[in-house]
């Protein structure tokens, strides 16, 4: 898969143990993620005030400010900014009492040390894509590809590229602006077919409706549908980029 389809994600690893930092750092770097390190909660809060992260891994027992306090402070900062970053606790204990403390502080999940690659990516996948209909739909596509995850990622990358779906959506917009029903029908039909191949129902349904309007030469109702299509495409682009980067 070409590098241009990959999204380089930013992860903050907060742990006062250098060995743990190195282990987790290595796991993320294998995926091409950008890793930022903090040795205590105070440093983590400062970094979060300066930069937006895609994921935060937070140790619980640290000097100065512990993981629970740091998480509470970060959540308060995010409320003012209207942001949200998934935070995963790293803990040597997995008692129900400690898990409850993590949830109450605002953490999303927890991983028991020592951290393994399989566990780490399983938890991250669960957080990023839980109840995501587009990712759930990809499971059927993956079955059709005999489980070839690399081919699936390549197809996903091709779809969200500016040269394919991005270009088709711009051409659909041009057709609507020019009230060119034939061009609208042609471009919407092509986008619908590509969306069907990847089982992207949101894009498929909007493209289908635009295709029908183009066929019927009914151009007055296209603007609202296009706005929905464009918004769904941006959402799909972000979701697919995350999926590609985390697999």
Residues 45-90 pLDDT 10s: 999 999 999 899 999 999 889 999 999 999 999 999 888 999 999 9
Give the model's pLDDT for residue 6: 52
User: Do both 42 and 75 map to the same domain?
Assistant: yes
Domain encompassing residue 159: 134-245
State yes or no: pLDDT of 214 exceeds 50. yes
Give the model's pLDDT for residue 171: 97
Give the model's pLDDT for residue 162: 86
Give the model's pLDDT for residue 131: 62
State yes or no: pLDDT of 152 exceeds 80. yes
Bigger pLDDT: 55 vs 1? 55
Domain with 96 in it: what CATH number? 3.40.50.2300
Domains held by the chain: number: 2
> Residue by residue, what is the 3-state secondary structure of the chain?
CCHHHCCCCEEEEECCCHHHHHHHHHHHHHCCCEEEEECCHHHHHHHHHHCCCCEEEEECCCCCCCHHHHHHHHHHHHHHHCCCCCEEEEECCCCHHHHHHHHHHCCCEEEECCCCHHHHHHHHHHHHHCCCHHHHHHHHHHHHCCCCHHHHHHHHHHHHCCCCHHHHHHHHHHHHHCCCHHHHHHHHHHHHHHHHHCCCHHHHHHHHHHHHHHHHCCCCCHHHHHHHHHHHHHHHHHHHHHHHHCC
Asked which of 130, 149, 172 is the last residue of a domain, the reply is 130
State yes or no: pLDDT of 135 exceeds 90. no
User: Do both 124 and 146 map to the same domain?
Assistant: no
User: Do both 148 and 110 map to the same domain?
Assistant: no
User: Do both 120 and 61 map to the same domain?
Assistant: yes
User: Do both 110 and 186 map to the same domain?
Assistant: no
What is the pLDDT averaged over residues 206-220?
Answer: 95
User: Do both 71 and 184 map to the same domain?
Assistant: no
Asked which of 111, 130, 149 is the last residue of a domain, the reply is 130
User: Do both 55 and 156 map to the same domain?
Assistant: no
Give the model's pLDDT for residue 129: 79
User: Do both 96 and 155 map to the same domain?
Assistant: no
**pTM for the model:** 0.68
Asked which of 130, 156, 190 is the last residue of a domain, the reply is 130
User: Do both 160 and 89 map to the same domain?
Assistant: no
State yes or no: pLDDT of 133 exceeds 80. no
User: Do both 106 and 7 map to the same domain?
Assistant: yes
User: Do both 125 and 171 map to the same domain?
Assistant: no
Domain with 138 in it: what CATH number? 1.20.120
User: Do both 170 and 125 map to the same domain?
Assistant: no
Mean pLDDT of the chain: 90
Residues 82-116 pLDDT 10s: 889 999 999 887 778 888 899 999 999 989 888 98
Give the model's pLDDT for residue 239: 85
Residues 171-188 pLDDT 10s: 999 999 999 999 999 999
Please state, for a pLDDT cut of 90, what percent of the chain lies above it.
65
């Amino acid at each position: 898969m070409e590098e241009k389809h990959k999204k380089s994600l930013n992860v903050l690893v907060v742990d006062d143990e250098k060995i743990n930092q190195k282990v987790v750092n290595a796991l993320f770097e294998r995926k091409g993620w950008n890793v930022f390190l903090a040795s205590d909660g105070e440093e983590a809060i400062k970094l979060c005030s300066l930069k937006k992260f895609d994921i935060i891994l937070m140790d619980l027992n640290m000097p100065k400010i512990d993981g629970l306090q740091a998480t509470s402070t970060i959540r308060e900062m995010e409320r003012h900014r209207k942001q949200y970053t998934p935070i995963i606790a790293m803990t040597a204990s997995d008692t129900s009492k400690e898990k409850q403390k993590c949830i109450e502080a605002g953490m999303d999940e927890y991983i028991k040390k020592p951290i393994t690659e399989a566990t780490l990516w399983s938890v991250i996948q669960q957080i990023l894509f839980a109840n995501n209909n587009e990712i759930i739909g990809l499971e059927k596509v993956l079955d059709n590809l005999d489980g070839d995850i690399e081919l699936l990622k390549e197809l996903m990358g091709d779809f969200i590229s500016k040269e394919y779906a991005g270009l088709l959506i711009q051409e659909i917009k041009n057709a609507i602006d020019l009230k060119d029903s034939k061009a609208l029908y042609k471009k919407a039909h092509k986008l619908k077919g590509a969306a069907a191949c990847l089982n992207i129902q949101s894009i498929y349904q909007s493209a289908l409706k635009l295709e029908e309007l183009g066929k019927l030469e009914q151009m007055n109702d296209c603007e609202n549908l296009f706005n929905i299509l464009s918004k769904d495409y941006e959402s799909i682009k972000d979701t697919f980029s995350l999926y590609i980067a985390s697999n």
